Structure 1
Amino acid sequence: MKIVIITVAGISSRFNKDVPNDEMVLKCLYYEENPEDTLIYRMLEKVKYADEIIVVGGFKFDDLIDYIGEHVPSDIRDKCNLVYNDHFDDLSSGYSLYLGIKESFNISEDISEILFVEGDLDVDGESFGKVINSKNSVLTTNPEPIYSNKAVVLYQNENDDFVYAFNSDHGLLSINEPFKAIFNSGQIWKFNDMGALKIANDNFKEYLIADTNLGIIQKYFDLIENDKIEVFGFNHWVNCNTRKDYKIIKEYWRNIL
């Protein structure tokens, strides 16, 4: 079984900046004219190959339920399993991933791979296809410059291990060991060792419950062999933090039609 986890639980504070409370939206559901021009719709189209799609929500969860029920084609909607994160406003992003992985193991014991996608991303189909088609666990990168106040850094150290660095306070970053390569993370991952993923998820619940999703991800990639990992870069990658970002993404969609 192939499972995809998409996390969309966050409050979207930057996206809703200066917007009245009664007009705040769940970022992945935002559109201006066409209800199919949303981040969640476009990503669901990309992952419809999966046997099961777990969408972890929180903020405006009822809106998410309504949107998927009304606007997502039935062949995709029937694969969607919506999970509510009741700690979306007091824990970090790691808890959403934890819930998604936990639900995956509840669904089936026969899972060949789990693809994890952060729900505020737009990426090109060609690069995404390489991630999908890989038989290995996958790390991804994006082509943007690395700025410490917003980038999730992925680097490869002298032992060929892949390590993440991120400052949740959006301050400066430090790397305290020699490294061979450094990248801006693409925020999409594939896991194909379910034993290692279960260990990483259980470890998160016990020791790292307030951490970001990197708490699970780093533990997983520490547990598997480097030769079982592939790294793919996206040609087009936008992390939609603001409505200006959405307009950039929408223009890209218009140009690729």
Structure 2
Amino acid sequence: MKIVIITVAGVSSRFNKDVPEEDKILKCLYYEENPTDTLIYHMLEKSSFADKIIIVGGYKYDDLAEYIKDYIPKELQDKILTVYNDHFSDLSSGYSLYLGIKEVLDNFEDIDEILFVEGDLDIDDESFTKVIESDKDVLTFNYEPIYSNKAVVLYQNGNDEYHYLFNSDHGLLSLEESFKAIFNSGQTWKFRDMELLKVANDNFYENLIDDTNLGIIQKYFDLVEDASEIEIIGLKHWVNCNTRQDYKLIKNYWER
């Protein structure tokens, strides 16, 4: 069984900046003309290969459910399971991933892999297909310059271990060890060992519940003993949609 987890619970604060309260929207549902020109619609199309698609929502959760019912094709609707994160406003992104993984591990068997992608991304089809087709655990990177105020840094140290750096206050980053390679994270991952993933997820709930989703991801890849079982995939087109200007860039790409 192949499963995709998409997290869209956040309050979209930058996307809704200076927008009247009655016009604020969950950013993965935003469109200007065509209701299928949304981040979630395009990501669900890419995820149609999966047997199940878990969407973890929170902010404007009812709007998410209504959009799925009204605009997502029936064959995709039948694969979708939505999960409500009741801590979307007071815990970080890690809790959404925790809930998604828990939903999968508690309710499904014979899981071959889980592909996790953050729901505010737009990724080209060719690169996403490479992630889908990989038979290994997957880490991804994009080709944007690394700026400490917005990038999630992925690096490989001298022991061939992969580690992440991120400043939630958008300040400076410090790397305290030598490294072989450094990347701008593509915020898309694949997990193939469900036992290791359960350990990482349980550890998050017990020790790191205030952390970002990197708390689970870092623990999982720390537990992968053989670095040759990890594939690093570059994403040619990658936009993290934080603002409405970002959306316009994405929409122009779709139109091309």
Matching residue of 1:220: 220
SS at 1:187's partner residue? strand
Moved over 2 A (4+): none
Matching residue of 1:92: 92
The reply on whether 1:202 has 2:202 as its aligned counterpart is yes
Matching residue of 1:138: 138
Matching residue of 2:19: 19
Matching residue of 2:177: 177
User: Which amino acid in the other structure matches residue 133 of structure 2?
Assistant: N
Seq. identity, %: 71
Deviation at 1:15, TM superposition (A): 0.1
Q: Deviations over 1:62-121 (max 9, x none)?
A: 000000000000000110000000000000000000000000012212100000000000
Q: Which stretches in structure 2 are left out of the alignment for 5+ residues?
A: none
SS at 1:145's partner residue? coil
Q: Deviations over 1:137-174 (max 9, x none)?
A: 00000010000000000000000111000001100000
Matching residue of 1:235: 236
Deviation at 1:220, TM superposition (A): 0.2
| Cα distance in structure 2, aligned partners of 1:121 and 1:167 | 19
Matching residue of 2:155: 155
User: Which amino acid in the other structure matches residue 82 of structure 2?
Assistant: L
User: Which amino acid in the other structure matches residue 74 of structure 1?
Assistant: K
Number of residue pairs aligned between Structure 1 and Structure 2: 255
Matching residue of 2:83: 83
Q: Which stretches in structure 1 are left out of the alignment for 5+ residues?
A: none
SS at 2:48's partner residue? coil
Matching residue of 1:188: 188
RMSD value over aligned CA atoms?
0.4
TM-score relative to the length of structure 1: 0.99
| Cα distance in structure 2, aligned partners of 1:210 and 1:22 | 30
User: Which amino acid in the other structure matches residue 105 of structure 1?
Assistant: L
Matching residue of 1:245: 246
| Cα distance in structure 2, aligned partners of 1:220 and 1:228 | 13
| Cα distance in structure 2, aligned partners of 1:92 and 1:195 | 24
| Cα distance in structure 1, aligned partners of 2:106 and 2:247 | 35
Matching residue of 1:46: 46
The reply on whether 1:105 has 2:105 as its aligned counterpart is yes
